[in-house]
Structure 1
Amino acid sequence: MSSTPSDASNAVARRAPFTVVALSFMVYIHSLRNGFVNYDDLDERILKNPFLNTPWDWSFIPQAFTQATAGYYDPIYVLSYVIDYQVWGMNPAGFHFGNLVLHTLNALLVFYLTARMTRRTDLAWVTALLFAVHPIHVESVAWATSRKDTLSLFFALASLRVYWQGVGRETRRYAWHAAAALVLLLLGMMTKPTVGVVPGLILFAELLLGPRPFAWRRIVTFQVVAWTLLLVFVAATFAMTVGLAVKGTIQFTPTQHVILFFELYAYYIKLALWPLNLSALYVIEIRDRFEPWILAMLIPGLSLLVGWMFVELKRSVADAERARRHGPVLWGAVVFFAGLLPFTNIMPRTIYLADRYLYLASIGFCLILASLLLRIRRPRLRLAGIIIMIALYGVLTIERVPVWRDSVTLWSDVVRKTDMDPDRKHLLMARAYGFEGRWEEALREYERMDLAARRDPQLWMTVANAYFTVGQRERAREIFERLMTACPQYLVPVMQGIALDIEQNRLDEARQRAQRFNNRFTVAERQWLQDVFRLQAVGRTEQVWQVFQRLSESIEQRTAPIKAELIRQCSDRL
């Protein structure tokens, strides 16, 4: 008996999920060898996460939902690492495995969602395979801290899929699906607020790919409820949601705004189309005037592209047959441009360009590319094109994953690819070597910098600690003395100098130093200092450092609210 097209489609639907999972694991399985890196991993996200390195406590949940971590309101993201820790401890492989599983689930959701929305299993399969292996996702998957991207997209895609399952159903069932979609969307917002574009993606999906005639009352009601809910969420968490990435002090002229906006989209299109020379850090030039190529090509080109999208959208809404032909490509374009909108300069940011910003938007790119590949008329040529693209992306991904193995490898790659000031390159590499415990190499990088010209007390403290670690005590002492003279209000270098004196058993000098800054300590801190000297005098070294630790924590906690001002004053005097 000959097979029918329906039988072939069903066979693809059964096999596709297994191939998507297999391919995702194949290109990313070696990410489990990667460790943590000094690119956000070392702060409150992972290595200083207040909920890790401790047994599970149910109080973690209300704490996570009522505070910001590392300057962001992202409780679901933070708690996901608690799960990793409870299962794997602080083994980096466990954290990377969580990212790999989430990325694989996202690829599967791309397949199921695209298949249901377009009713084309072949298109969904190719789209999911391209998404699974695209090199632009390496940063999101192979970097432990980028869990925010993989997890937020999981909730966003789950929200889309649950909503779409209710489209065309009877009212009560649709209402349940819509409510569940909103709950999932809120979970995504509590992971990374940029998934707030999802209601817009749902709107365009219904107009381009939804059943006819349109259920306008449902569409409008859902959109009003969804956007109202998101506005309430943003208002309620605004102080925490803004986070460290948004800098209100960054100011652009209107011309700079327009130029940067178009250049960012152009760069993102380039990264998606040509994912070579990828980097963890890109240097963006802020232009003060329009270059001829921007006026002649970039702005007209992108404007025409967006104009075409709206014209085709209007035609597709009016013509169901046209929507069936062009709907997937149009919706892919909407996903791409809308998914990137939060990462343009509509808000002042510290980082304007990063591979991870394409994680959601790339779904649209993969859908467009899959649609174009499947339009190749000759079956053998079409199959060859699909295989070549997937293989090419897979090889590039496999090659890039080890770049995130450790800090030195990561920043060596950045330094090689990025045109930046030599001092900044040396500083990046010094910090990378220091994070990996390679202090001799870190010091060589620090010494290649023009340290005398850098009025940064925290940098000087880092260099002094590096000298101390490699045994160059006198060099460390010189820096501590310089900082104490320039910054008598900043007690951190004072404490480091006292610690160095105690470590070298120079108690008289330690007492003189403590007396010199006596009025800077509280009564309790003075008593702790006396305990330190008394215990050191009788050789009870272990207890000395226990008391010293309590003393240092007291000073750190007491001066934390004014630390930034103290450092600024110190910088002015260096």
Structure 2
Amino acid sequence: MQKLADIPRLYLFLALLGVTLLVYGNTFRNDWTYDDRYVVVDNPDTHSLAEFARNQYPGRPVRELSYMVDYKLFGTNPAGYHAQQLFWHGLNGCLLLAVFLKLGVGPLPAFLGVLLFLLHPLQVESVANVGHRKELLALFFSLTAFLWYMKGMASGGRSRVLFVVLATLACAGALLSNVSTAFMPLILVLYEYLFVPAERRFLLHRPLLLACAAMTLLGTTVYHYRGMFSATQLMAPYTKNGFTDSLDHFPYYMGALKVVVLYAGKILMPLNLAPEYAIRFSSDRLQPGALAGAALLVLLVFCVVWNASRQPLLTFAGGWFLLMYLPVANIVPISYMMADRYMYTCLPGIALLASWVLERWHSKALVAGSCSLLLVLALLTVRQNRFWLTEHTLWRHAVQVNPDSSYVQSGVADSYILTGDFATARDHLRKALELNRFNLKAYLTLGRVEDMLGNPEAALKNYEIFQAYGDAEFPVATAQVRNYLPYLREKVRRLSGQK
């Protein structure tokens, strides 16, 4: 470990950037995938400042500004956009190493912990898919805020105030990148409590300021999520996962607890990763998966609280994970119950935990085992990157590992449409509707496929179902279908008359 301590920090940072380029370099060949065209290519807000000001695609402004740089330099060539993806991911690794070292972690445990963050296959969705750059930017600003706040706590006078202001601005940047970083100020408070001497604390010595910040955060949260606890809001996750038994909240929160177990499994064994996951909801009172998820959360909270005075680094690692997980923990009903990208800002907590283990029980055998594990993760990540090469490779892999997802079946159908294989696309769309009869996009796509295959009656049936319920989710497509239906009905009428 002493040998690594003697290496200049710049070389460690360059090594992290080099590893990022080596492991994720095959993403430069990747085409636009998933929702890239909707979020990036066809989004006018990313093309110029004038279009950005019109805000035709309300969303995450920092992400759109970063796309604007790519658009000016590379147009619609995805390779340039992927270069910026790797830049942010590698830079986040460097910032994370700086954080770990400032927290007192030794150079070797810190370096290996950061490599775990960089190389874990769960990161592939955020790095390989340009549309999910929001996760990369959110973590960049969060780590920047944390580093500036640490500097502020170690400084005095005007420098202290300046660093606190800079940390505040960085927190705002994180929030404008992705609202999932809303609890970053609480991480700063946790850091103060665990690591800053009582006489040097800032937020904890200003209860009025802390209370105002908490009320602002609470008010913003309530306003943003107003009405989202209603029974009708449950329709989004329930219909997305084909659950129709009730509109009660109980099945939803049991499903949310099951997701905790699923995430734990993906962190420990990152296999069979997919852009969409099917969550099984149930009205049963006794659900082992939900009980296991609740037990895991209770255990994590207990470890965080119990070790606050004994092992502050361990407490901080668990606290980071919990506070970053809270916004995506499905407390508020949302359509996507689970996604690999949700773990991007949470995994620094896991990386810090790994660093703590290596620091506490350092041995050559443990270091050798850690290096072997990192090599396996790197190979899995390189392999996972390849699945994001095109729409075809992405969805055809996804349907192999997650065939029970209606939206995966819809996605793979889209990939077959791109290759002109409409018959196979129809088979997958029918399967999608068998799994979930509320999948409106599947009705729309199946209508188009039947139309292309010369089956106007079948096309009409699917189009009519879509236009009856699609206004809320697909207003533009619904208007287009509604305008097309009179022509199609007349065509069906003529064909029926000829028969």
- What's the TM-score once normalised by structure 1's chain length? 0.72
Q: Does the Cα contact within 8 Å between 1:374 and 1:382 map onto a contact in 2?
A: no
Contact 2:443–2:463 (8 Å) recurs in 1 = no
Equivalents in 1 of 2:441, 2:400: separation in Å? 26
Distance of 1:273 and 1:289 partners within structure 2 = 28
Aligned ranges 1:144-155 → 2 under 5 Å: 144-155=130-141
Q: 1 CA distance for matches of 2:377 and 2:463?
A: 54
Instruction: Trace 1:365-444 onto structure 2 (pairs within 5 A).
Output: 365-378=350-363, 380-420=364-404, 426-434=409-417, 437-439=418-420, 441-444=421-424
1:371 is matched by which residue type in structure 2? W
**Residues 11-20 or 332-341, more deviating:** 11-20
Q: CA deviation at 1:107?
A: 0.6
Q: Choose the corresponding residue for 2:323, options 321, 338, 341.
A: 338
- How much has 1:342 moved relative to structure 2? 1.0
Change over 3 Å in CA distance of 1:485–1:444 after alignment to 2: closer
1:466 offset after TM fit, Å? 4.3
Q: Aligned equivalents of 2:211 and 2:129: distance in 1?
A: 37
Contact 2:413-2:426 at 8 Å conserved across structures: yes
Aligned to 2:43, the other structure's residue is in SS state coil
Say if 2:292 is the partner of 1:305: no
Q: Partner residue of 1:556?
A: none
User: What is the rounded CA distance, in whole Å, between the counterparts of 2:178 and 2:464 in structure 1?
Assistant: 44
Who is 1:260 aligned against? 255
Q: Which residue of 2 aligns with 1:569?
A: none
Report what 2:74 is aligned to.
Answer: 88
Note the C-alpha offset of 1:140: 0.6
Corresponding position of 1:59: 50
Matches within 5 A, 1:161-176: 161-176=147-162
| Equivalent of 2:21 in 21, 25, 34 | 25
- Asked whether 1:446 is paired with 2:426, we answer yes
Alignment of 1:557-572 (within 5 A): none
Change (3 A) 1:93 1:442: farther
Aligned match of 2:473:
none
Relative to structure 1, is the Cα distance of residues 11 and 226 closer, same or farther in structure 2, using a 3 angstrom cutoff? Answer: farther
* Aligned-partner Cα distance in 2 for 1:218–1:259: 36
1:59 is paired with a residue of what secondary structure? helix
What is the TM-score of this pair, normalised by structure 2? 0.81
Indicate how the Cα distance of structure 1 residues 389 and 327 shifts in structure 2: closer, same or farther if over 3 A, else same: farther
Structure 1 residue 207 corresponds to structure 2 residue 193: yes
> What is the CA-CA distance between 1:459 and the residue it aligns to?
5.2
In structure 1, runs of 5+ residues without a counterpart are 317-321, 501-508, 514-574
Which residue of 1 is the match for residue 116 of structure 2?
Answer: 130
SS at match of 2:40: coil
Q: How far off is 1:426 after superposition? A: 4.7
1:50 aligns with 2:44: yes
Instruction: Encode CA deviations 1:460-509: one digit per residue, 9 max, x unaligned.
Output: 6644544666xx5xx16556766899999987457558999xxxxxxxx9
Deviation string 1:81-135 (CA, Å, 9 cap, x unpaired) is 1221111110111222221111111111101111112253333222222111111
- The amino acid that maps onto 2:401 is K
The letter for the 2-side match of 1:387 is C
Q: Take 1:30 and 1:375, find their aligned partners in 2: how far apart are those partners?
A: 36
Change in CA separation of 1:485 and 1:256 when aligned onto 2, cut-off 3 Å = closer
Contact 1:81 1:95 in 2 (8 A): yes
Which residue identity lines up with residue 7 of structure 2 in the other structure?
A
SS in 1 for 2:35: coil
Contact 2:62 2:176 in 1 (8 A): yes
**RMSD (CA atoms):** 3.7
Shift in Å at residue 286 of structure 1? 1.8
Q: Which has the higher contact order (CA 8 A, sep 6+)?
A: 2
Taking the TM superposition and a 5 Å limit, the aligned residue runs for 1:476-555 are 478=457, 492-493=480-481, 496=484
Say which is worse superposed, 17-26 or 166-175, in terms of deviation: 166-175
Cα distance in 1, alignment partners of residues 314 and 139 from structure 2: 20
Structure 2 letter corresponding to 1:400: Q
**Per the alignment, do residues 202 and 455 of structure 1 end up closer, same or farther by CA in structure 2, a change over 3 Å counting?**
closer
Question: 2:41 is matched by which residue type in structure 1?
Answer: L
Question: Using a 3 Å threshold, how does the CA distance of structure 1 residues 120 and 433 change in structure 2: closer, same or farther?
Answer: same
Q: CA deviation at 1:60?
A: 3.5
Give the Å deviation of 1:279: 1.8
Look up the match of 2:284: 289
Change (3 A) 1:155 1:463: same
Question: Which residue of 1 is the match for residue 214 of structure 2?
Answer: 227
Read off the aligned partner of 2:169 and give its amino acid letter. Answer: V
Aligned to 1:555: none
Whether the aligned pair in 2 keeps the contact of 1:477 and 1:497 (CA below 8 Å) is no
Aligned mates of 1:389, 1:256 — CA distance in 2: 37
Check the 8 A contact 1:336/1:363 in 2, yes or no.
yes
SS at match of 2:177: coil
Number of matched pairs? 467
Amino acid at match of 1:438: T
Structure 2 CA distance for aligned equivalents of residues 80 and 309 of structure 1: 36
Q: What is the alpha-carbon distance in structure 2 between the residues aligned to residue 150 and residue 90 of structure 1?
A: 20
Identical pairs, percent: 22
Q: Which has the larger radius of gyration?
A: 1
CA distance, structure 1, for counterparts of residue 284 and residue 459 of structure 2: 46
Per mean C-alpha deviation after superposition, the further-off stretch among 139-148 and 93-102 is 93-102
Distance in 2 (CA, whole Å) between partners of 1:293 and 1:407 is: 36
SS in 1 for 2:92: helix
Give the Cα–Cα distance (whole angstroms) in 2 for the partners of residues 162 and 351 of structure 1.
33
Structure 1 CA distance for aligned equivalents of residues 271 and 335 of structure 2: 24
Q: Which amino acid aligns with 2:302?
A: G
